[in-house]
């Protein structure tokens, strides 16, 4: 099981068109910390499976990252 599978399961159950999560909420879902790069690099949140296994979680659940706010530590997922 991938470290990011719990995020996939969370998103796949969502019926919302947009899901906004605080980084701390994602860490609670994962039961693990996000890497430091997730807090500072937009590329970590890329909608591209070749950029990291984390992107499989939202892409395979039918979402894309719409925006990331590093000041407020939030990410907005939008259903594809």
Following DSSP, what letter does each residue of 1-68 receive, concatenated?
--TTHHHHHHHHH---SEEEEEHHHHHHHHTSPPPGGGGT-GGGG-S-GGG-THHHHHHHTTEEEEEE
Give pTM, 2 decimals.
Answer: 0.94
Q: What is the pLDDT of residues 5-47, one digit of tens each?
A: 999 999 999 999 999 999 999 999 999 999 999 999 999 999 9
Query: Residue 1: its pLDDT value, please?
Result: 60
């Amino acid at each position: 099981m991938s470290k990011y599978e719990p995020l996939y399961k969370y998103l796949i159950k969502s019926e919302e068109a947009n899901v906004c999560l605080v980084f701390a909420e994602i860490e609670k879902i994962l039961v693990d910390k996000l890497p430091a790069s997730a807090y500072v690099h937009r590329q970590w949140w890329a909608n591209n499976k070749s950029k990291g296994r984390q992107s499989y979680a939202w892409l395979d659940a039918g979402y894309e990252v719409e925006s990331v706010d590093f000041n407020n530590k939030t990410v907005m997922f939008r259903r594809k």
